[in-house]
Amino acid sequence: MTQEQIQHLVLQQMPEHLPGGILIYRDNKREEILYANSWLISMMGCSSFMDFMELTGGTFANLVHPDDREGVERDIREQIAGSRSKLDFVNYRIIRKDGSIRRVEEFGHRVFIPGVGTVFYVFFLDNDTKYKVYDMDSLTGLPGKTRFLKHASVVMKLASLDSKAPKMALVYVDIRNFHLYNMRNGSEKGNQFLIRMAKVLKGNFPNKLISRFEDDHFVILTSLPSLKKQIPVITGQIHGLYDASHLDVKFGICPVDDYTMPLEVGCSRARMACDTIKEFPDKHVCFYTQSMGDARNLRNYIIDHFREAMEKHWIQVYFQPVIRTVSGTLASMEALSRWMDPQKGKINPGVFVPLLEDSRQVRKLDMYVLEEICRLYQSQKEQGKTLIPVSFNLSRGDFFQESVFDEVEEIRKRYQVPRNMLYVEITESLLVYEGDILYQEIERFRQAGYEVWMDDFGSGYSSLNTLKNYSFDEIKIDMAFLAHFTDKSQNIIQAIIRMAKKIGMHTLMEGVETSEQVEFAKSIGCEQLQGYYYGRPMPFEELKRVCQDKHWQVETPQLRKYYGSLGAIDFLIDKPMAVVEVTNHRIRYLFVNEEYRKTLQSIGIMSLEKNEEFVNDQAGPTSKNMQRMLADVINSHTEEALTYTLNGRYVKLEANYLASHGQHHLVQLYLTNITMQTERKFSENLDQVTRNLLSLYQMVFLVDMEKDTAVPLIINTPFQEHFYQKRVGIQAMVKQYAETMIHPEDRERFLAFNESESMMNRIRQNPEGTISGVFRTLGNDEKCHWDIHSIFPTMLNGKIYLLYTTRISPLENELNIACTSSREEKET
């Protein structure tokens, strides 16, 4: 048998052996049937071609269910009219000889045959066959992936030949959270949902290619222009199914600009667009762009070159400084990975880190970073350089395999790094999903002596539950709170800080970029700050230069503990409160709240600098009393209080010991302006006591050395007409006072006592902060009595004055006897 005879025989028998129906009918008004193969005849329940022709009346129209005829005829004519190749694809119902109804799909081709005329070649499939043979989904009745790609390829080729055909698009549909729906409601309800979902898609895309690719993923080939209007309608319909409002439907759309593009590529691009918005609840539609393709290529590059990037150190460890809020010291630094690629340049960690997490390679990255940290520590230690604590991140993927604690310990021991130089950061979002394993690993780290920090606090869904279930040494407040620096976000941050202090956790605010944010953090008692305000992540050598340029002192473990004692203090209390550091009997304010500032102003001190000068002044008795009280507090580690007068105000200062580091001591202060208190009785009592004290003095002057004036406050002596009013010219006044009031034998000594040029030095040199002399002074009985003359400084409205006082000496008799004896000795 020749090759031609073989081909003729095969072609002659092929229609009878195809797994589907073949029908040929004329394209005329009657649509006469010319041929039907045995498969189609059997599907209709007929025994022969004559039986089939009798059932259908020999016409195509009678093959179609009466209710579907009009729609089928319209669809065929519309598809034929819009296609140069004269192809159609429709589905409809048929009525078999036994009266049963089946749904079929048919693929038709209109051709002209010389001698016969124009006819339709039609290929049929019923549901039973297409499920078994042609990749059809038995649940939804939609084509599977393979069948869809075959049919869609044909449609795309036909569309490429027709310039008038509307632009097409591939639509990828993903039902987010469907697995949760299945878990809550059971697989049976899940299947029912998918069936109804398929009906929604069929109803909105009639006569379009729709496929259930897998699980809850569908793909549609349709015309592009109507999509934007259809999708909101479909979304609403799907949300209305089975009270499934918690489900989120995403549509990724790839417009078909090139009909030669492989279908697999188009579907992949549509899915890529869909995945782009999967984490955005308010976005439901995304169109594919070239940048998404570039991103996909970059992701593939990252996966392929990750190992090489570590081996060749394309991945580098950068460090970002963490600054102590109250002291401006460098508390620690965070280690962050940066990929500097020879081909791609700088690859954003926001791209490669999530990708490595998804591909379960992130543990290799995290351990690589840890080893680089430990290697740096060893190098710095060997060179005798300053050692800085470093925090490093652990990812969710680190806990999938064997104990991450054991691997961290192995690396740390290899380089002999103390545990207190390494801080473990765990992102809050990780804590939402993991259970006992994560809890056990965190506890192992903490019990071994590591500090464990919660990173990005406030970014997850269960922040408070996380704090309840896990123990952390420090929380890092998510930078999202600072991105929109509003009153509301500030109130939230304040609440977080106060809560953390109450449950014994230290606080760090990341994402700090402005001086306003820094001052806010100081005012609420946030302990540490991190962000671009202090520096971007940078190589270690650059960080060293920045430390030198900005004069950042690096905290030792002891200094960290010292400043860490401030972590428990509530800086948001209403009571006037400050924290000072006392060094060599001199104070420096580290923090004051607004109430403390207002109280200082109410007693005439308008700035912290002025108050520091006042307290640190070695000459003033009030200053000396304050310094004595602070010394007692530091030595005894207790609380002390001091009441004094300043600028006409009664003031109470309370001090509470906090911590010490060498010669540096932290003390908490509370300041009260008693005069302004509502408890006026106490103020009145103090005023009466003060008046009684002042009555003991013969005379009190307020002296302004700068203006060379003296103002009498109390005069209980004769010759009041000379001294009752304010006097200008202090030395002239002193001479007049000496001539009229001082015993002749004491005048030279009195003038020396009041010598103005050396007066302030003599006051400063005296430990009591005052100078005194005893002189015989004319009294009310016109006799000379031994009076004590004292001079000491006082502050009024931020300015230092001198108080000049005189009072009768309680040792007058003894002094008279001594003076008489001395005179007799001189005469002898």
Measure the CA angle with vertex 555, ends 552 and 561; round to 5°.
Answer: 145
Of all residues in the chain, what percent are helix, strand and coil, respectively (each to 5)? 45, 30, 25
Domain coordinates of the chain in residue numbers?
A: 13-134, 136-288, 313-552, 573-683, 696-823
Q: What is the DSSP letter of 773?
A: E
- DSSP notation for 209-251: EEEEEETTEEEEEEESTTHHHHHHHHHHHHHTGGG-TT-EEEE
Kindly report the CATH class assigned to 696-823: alpha beta
- Beta carbons within 8 Å of 95's beta carbon, 6+ residues apart: 65, 101
Mean pLDDT of the region 450-459: 86
pLDDT band, residue 121 (cuts 50/70/90)? confident
Mean pLDDT of the region 454-470: 72
- DSSP notation for 436-454: HHHHHHHHHHHHHT-EEEE
Q: What is the DSSP letter of 139?
A: T
- Which range has the worst mean pLDDT, 131-135, 327-331, 538-542, 598-602? 131-135
Classify 823 as helix, strand or coil: helix
Q: How far is CA 98 from CA 23, 43, 351, in A?
A: 20, 11, 63
Confidence at residue 127, expressed as pLDDT on a 0 to 100 scale: 59
Alpha-carbon dihedral sign for residues 280, 286, 289, 292: positive
Residue 15 identity (one-letter amino acid) = P
Confidence at residue 367, expressed as pLDDT on a 0 to 100 scale: 96
Confidence at residue 293, expressed as pLDDT on a 0 to 100 scale: 87
Q: Out of 55-69, 317-331, 760-774, give the one with best mean pLDDT.
A: 317-331
> Above 80 in pLDDT, residue 60?
yes
Classify 201 as helix, strand or coil: helix
**719 against 15, higher pLDDT:** 15
Confidence at residue 387, expressed as pLDDT on a 0 to 100 scale: 93
CATH second-level architecture of 13-134?
A: 2-Layer Sandwich (3.30)
pLDDT in tens, 267-291: 999 999 999 898 888 888 999 999 8
- Which range has the worst mean pLDDT, 49-58, 81-90, 209-218, 651-660? 81-90
- Which range has the worst mean pLDDT, 335-339, 416-420, 502-506? 502-506
Return d(Cα 225, Cα 202) in angstroms, integer: 18
> Above 50 in pLDDT, residue 24?
yes
> Above 90 in pLDDT, residue 7?
no
Number of residues in the chain: 828
Classify 30 as helix, strand or coil: coil
Structure tokens at 664: 């540096």
Confidence at residue 679, expressed as pLDDT on a 0 to 100 scale: 46
Q: Yes or no: say if 287 and 273 are a contact pair by the CB < 8 Å rule.
A: yes
Strand order in the sheet with 248-255: 209-214, 217-223, 168-176, 248-255, 285-287
Mean pLDDT of the region 10-30: 72
Q: Out of 132-141, 300-309, 679-688, 770-779, give the one with best mean pLDDT.
A: 300-309
Q: Out of 58-72, 82-96, 112-126, give the one with best mean pLDDT.
A: 58-72
Confidence at residue 678, expressed as pLDDT on a 0 to 100 scale: 46
Mean pLDDT of the region 601-630: 85
Structure tokens at 31: 């649509």
Q: Which of 297, 299, 273, 295 is nearest to 284 (CA)?
A: 273
- Which range has the worst mean pLDDT, 8-12, 90-94, 354-358? 8-12
Q: What are phi and psi of 644, to 5 degrees?
A: -150, 170
- This prediction has a pTM of 0.62
Q: Which of 438, 436, 366, 352 is nearest to 395 (CA)?
A: 366
> Above 50 in pLDDT, residue 828?
no
Report the chain's mean pLDDT, rounded to a whole number: 84
User: What would the CATH number be for the domain defined by 573-683?
Assistant: 3.30.450.20
> Above 90 in pLDDT, residue 204?
no
> Above 90 in pLDDT, residue 378?
yes
Confidence at residue 695, expressed as pLDDT on a 0 to 100 scale: 64
As a whole number of Å, the end-to-end CA separation of the chain is: 171
Q: What is the DSSP letter of 372?
A: H
pLDDT band, residue 460 (cuts 50/70/90)? low
Return d(Cα 119, Cα 111) in angstroms, integer: 6
Residue 17 identity (one-letter amino acid) = H
Residue entry with tokens 């000049």: 804
User: What would the CATH number be for the domain defined by 313-552?
Assistant: 3.20.20.450
Q: Which of 777, 805, 809 is nearest to 793 (CA)?
A: 805
Mean pLDDT of the region 70-89: 72
Q: Out of 125-134, 242-251, 419-428, give the one with best mean pLDDT.
A: 419-428
Q: Yes or no: say if 523 and 594 are a contact pair by the CB < 8 Å rule.
A: yes
Alpha-carbon dihedral sign for residues 592, 598, 603, 609: positive
Confidence at residue 691, expressed as pLDDT on a 0 to 100 scale: 62
> Above 60 in pLDDT, residue 602?
yes
> Above 60 in pLDDT, residue 811?
yes
Return d(Cα 738, Cα 732) in angstroms, integer: 10
CATH superfamily of 136-288: Reverse transcriptase/Diguanylate cyclase domain (3.30.70.270)
H/E element, 301: helix 290-311
> Above 80 in pLDDT, residue 11?
no
What percent of the chain has pLDDT above 70?
86
> Above 60 in pLDDT, residue 824?
no
- Which range has the worst mean pLDDT, 358-367, 402-411, 697-706, 719-728? 719-728
pLDDT band, residue 307 (cuts 50/70/90)? very high
> Above 80 in pLDDT, residue 205?
yes
